[in-house]
Structure 1
């Protein structure tokens, strides 16, 4: 595919972004780059271990506060080298995004192969005003967080297709969707899977000071509802005023034709819609009743339930079933062989991603084994604590530190498990609730997701972007996402300060002050 992209290079900020892109793209291929990173971690781990680097921090272990010591582990030892070789396959097959992407693509591949996705997008294009489409993409990305990581696999590539359908640059659509899904990861109109996860860690940390303290999953709900609209507005402005003008006109070979919906396609869309409604009805029967099959033994829907554990195949089925129904009604599916063929084509298109996932998985695991991320996180927390700042300046500093640490540790819960036992009790003692501290952490954790190569799905997004521009590299993606990261951070901090000044409730029964 030959791609020529004319870019707007005017302005100091655009020159800075162009510099980031050029430098980033002069780096080796992402596969080679992750291999180099892996080797670097091995060497750095040996140096850190030789220097005896270690940290101590307090965390909850089996319900009790325990001082944990974490020491740098050298991978350049006999034991480390054995682990590198013996667990290479396990690292790959256990790479978190791998199963999510491949399983979801089974369903998405059928929906694309039968023509459902293309017909639905054309329907969207024909019925949505052009001026609203950017906001719709960003908002949909934010709302996809209810389904955990599914938005990365489903919505980000759809964002590119939607923009292409409007004769706009597909990478701008990809960036807008990625900004909503990942940069706005904590925002939502509904309670997501992240809320009970972080709430449980906050509760354990609060109980170091008050043993009976409870943190509800709805602890930050009101603020996150407001954040949904804020991030949608900022994401829309950044896309249309910074990212898309900088990309210029798309001159690649990929096209998305906007033609009227034929009778066969209309019939297919109706069948797809009815089958989706039927599927939703079945899922409600399996989840809504208090004793529903897909709930946990304790009756929970979001915590320890089969529904949450099986969310990825559920998402795949939500595409597969309407896709098959559409194909039968529109005539693109003649037999089960067609369905299997569409699945096979979807898998074959993921070859480049599989190669990238293998080396990325090794890098992430080496970083974890060496304990370098934990050491960095604890030292960052201690550094902030040592500044002796108080009030809003200290909380803003906490947000920035959380965002910085997020560049190196992708898991929101893993970082919070390290930081919460330090900051939740500390801030409780000066009058701030655990819910408020958790809120500050979530802002920092979300805003730098989109510029961290260590974020689990970063390699996936690069692979999606290369479909439209084979020259796309890590530099291209980071330079496109930096404006979102900066503006999300500024906008969210301003909302945070306003919320603090007005002393508004954070969620039902959750407040700023103790």
Structure 2
């Protein structure tokens, strides 16, 4: 399926665009060969079990790089591949199948965080805040505001895809601009800026939990908090907003040309009215904002003073404190409290049953995630028990050190690999659950901390979200685009988003290298750049 637009449309007529569309169609075809992520984890777990038996039979091993006295280090200083399909291995699998699932760190943290976000989303607070932000922006700032709002919408899961992207197309059309340019700007912010934000959301504990599990292949006591990339995320928010603004204004919209209303597949979409934020919604947002501010001040009172009750009880530092260890609880309250207040003022939450319904609806949306986590948890456990993760990490780290591939070049290569893998496997959690047990230990052994490795992964993963049809909402975005331009195809949409993807990847990678290697800044509170900490 490939779009064919007007003769003066750069994306549909140029030879370069045709070649790019053929390439992206090839990516789509290859991606479609992959099974569903759940089935992929099943196959990979079976393959891992078979490999454990074969490599154990041949006595595959590596030198244990951990110092003597470290927990888990073998007495002879070697790491051997463990057979998981013999009697002992099968018994271990059967006995721990349930606890692998229930003890998988990302599961509980995501569920708790989403309970709070669910209340804010159910009450309509997030939707109203998003509409108010975009619709009240000055005309010159509309594009920047849309990209920024897209980034911020990631705290509320799929709301940006469902609400903001169609809204952005409508706003651009109402301003006499090309609606697909508005759609592209919002899509770039929501999906391309997936790992940038001023706030912590549900994806942060999800990824940090997977990173922690992978890091414990090397260091069994290592912990990675949900706030691990917060500083870098905040800086990235403004960078991605600026790049998204530039690409929309200088590249995408000029290339689309003047919009022809006759291209619309559904004429009624051109007559749709943008729903303004009502007076009661404004009142609700004001009081919700006040409650957020009061909560943040109370939280600061427990952390900022040297004797704050949520500081570390022994060191008095924020690092390793109850505040950071319990950050998911504060994410829950930060969204649940203002969401409830907004709902009571606007009438969307009338009683306690509505609060329960809000949290239940949030949990129901996670059904596929819970299924995925079950199999991802088994795969991660098998990887750890078999020692395949350790063997691959040591072998890979030794190879990288032997060829002298370290520093910025190593991390840039890792970012590019993550971006390429994302073209085939669009789910951020599924991709990280597959790749983290390999790359996190490997890069730890080359001297880099898991928090920094995770930040690099998120750049590659986010930057190519907008050009892969494997992304779960790609079909929805295409359907919205076709309402305004009926001959829009998969290749057309991917080619339109390609400039964003390339500029995000380049700009974000440069920021990362400057942030980490030039300025030496931590990517998050208490996050180290190097492992072990220097």
TM-score (normalizing by structure 1): 0.67
State which of 164, 167, 170 in structure 2 corresponds to 1:165. 167
1:348-497 aligned at under 5 Å gives the runs: 348-388=364-404, 395-400=407-412, 402-403=414-415, 419-420=443-444, 422-423=446-447, 444-450=456-462, 490-491=506-507
Contact 2:414 2:457 (8 Å CA) reproduced: yes
State which of 82, 85, 90 in structure 2 corresponds to 1:76. 85
State which of 98, 115, 127 in structure 2 corresponds to 1:89. 98
State how far apart, in whole Å, the 2-side matches of 1:335 and 1:16 are: 54
1:33 aligns to what?
A: 40
Question: How far did 1:175 drift?
Answer: 6.2
State how far apart, in whole Å, the 2-side matches of 1:303 and 1:43 are: 42
Contact 2:150 2:160 (8 Å CA) reproduced: no
* Cα separation, partners in 2 of 1:386 and 1:349, compared to 1, 3 Å: closer
1:90-239 aligned at under 5 Å gives the runs: 90-128=99-137, 129-137=141-149, 140=152, 154=156, 157-158=159-160, 161-167=163-169, 173=186, 176-182=189-195, 230-234=239-243
* Cα separation, partners in 2 of 1:320 and 1:395, compared to 1, 3 Å: closer
State how far apart, in whole Å, the 2-side matches of 1:11 and 1:236 are: 25
1:259 correspondence with 2:275: yes
2:520 aligns to what?
A: 506
Which string of whole-angstrom CA distances, capped at 9 and with x for unpartnered residues, describes residues 136-180 of structure 1? 157648xxxxxxxxx6x6366446532232236989856644543
Contact 2:53 2:82 (8 Å CA) reproduced: yes
Contact 1:180 1:235 (8 Å CA) reproduced: no
Which string of whole-angstrom CA distances, capped at 9 and with x for unpartnered residues, describes residues 213-266 of structure 1? xxxxxxx99999876655555566678968xx99x9999xx9x98311222212
Question: How far did 1:335 drift?
Answer: 1.7
Question: How far did 1:340 drift?
Answer: 1.4
1:12 correspondence with 2:12: no
State how far apart, in whole Å, the 1-side matches of 2:119 and 2:231 are: 38
Question: How far did 1:412 drift?
Answer: 7.4
Contact 2:144 2:242 (8 Å CA) reproduced: no
State which of 362, 375, 378 in structure 2 corresponds to 1:346. 362
Contact 1:119 1:265 (8 Å CA) reproduced: yes
Contact 1:27 1:33 (8 Å CA) reproduced: yes
Question: SS state of the match for residue 59, structure 1?
Answer: coil
* Cα separation, partners in 2 of 1:237 and 1:449, compared to 1, 3 Å: same
Question: SS state of the match for residue 332, structure 2?
Answer: helix
Contact 2:168 2:186 (8 Å CA) reproduced: no
Question: SS state of the match for residue 65, structure 2?
Answer: strand
State how far apart, in whole Å, the 1-side matches of 2:156 and 2:325 are: 18
* Cα separation, partners in 2 of 1:328 and 1:161, compared to 1, 3 Å: same
TM-score (normalizing by structure 2): 0.64
* Cα separation, partners in 2 of 1:483 and 1:23, compared to 1, 3 Å: farther
1:22 correspondence with 2:17: no
Which string of whole-angstrom CA distances, capped at 9 and with x for unpartnered residues, describes residues 452-496 of structure 1? 99xxxxxxx9667788799xxxx99xx999987765554466568
Contact 1:5 1:249 (8 Å CA) reproduced: no
Question: SS state of the match for residue 87, structure 1?
Answer: helix
State which of 34, 46, 53 in structure 1 corresponds to 2:53. 46
State how far apart, in whole Å, the 2-side matches of 1:61 and 1:405 are: 34
Contact 1:451 1:482 (8 Å CA) reproduced: no
State how far apart, in whole Å, the 1-side matches of 2:342 and 2:47 are: 50
* Cα separation, partners in 2 of 1:32 and 1:48, compared to 1, 3 Å: same
Contact 2:150 2:164 (8 Å CA) reproduced: no
Aligned residues: 441
1:272 correspondence with 2:288: yes
State how far apart, in whole Å, the 2-side matches of 1:22 and 1:353 are: 25
State how far apart, in whole Å, the 2-side matches of 1:5 and 1:303 are: 52
Which string of whole-angstrom CA distances, capped at 9 and with x for unpartnered residues, describes residues 92-143 of structure 1? 22233322222122112211222212211211221234311454157648xx
* Cα separation, partners in 2 of 1:322 and 1:354, compared to 1, 3 Å: same
Which string of whole-angstrom CA distances, capped at 9 and with x for unpartnered residues, describes residues 34-62 of structure 1? 22222222222222222322222533566
State how far apart, in whole Å, the 2-side matches of 1:402 and 1:444 are: 7
Question: How far did 1:320 drift?
Answer: 0.9
1:335 aligns to what?
A: 351
Contact 1:291 1:299 (8 Å CA) reproduced: no
State how far apart, in whole Å, the 2-side matches of 1:237 and 1:441 are: 28
Question: How far did 1:332 drift?
Answer: 2.0
Question: SS state of the match for residue 63, structure 2?
Answer: strand
| Structure 1 range deviating more: 401-410 or 6-15 | 401-410
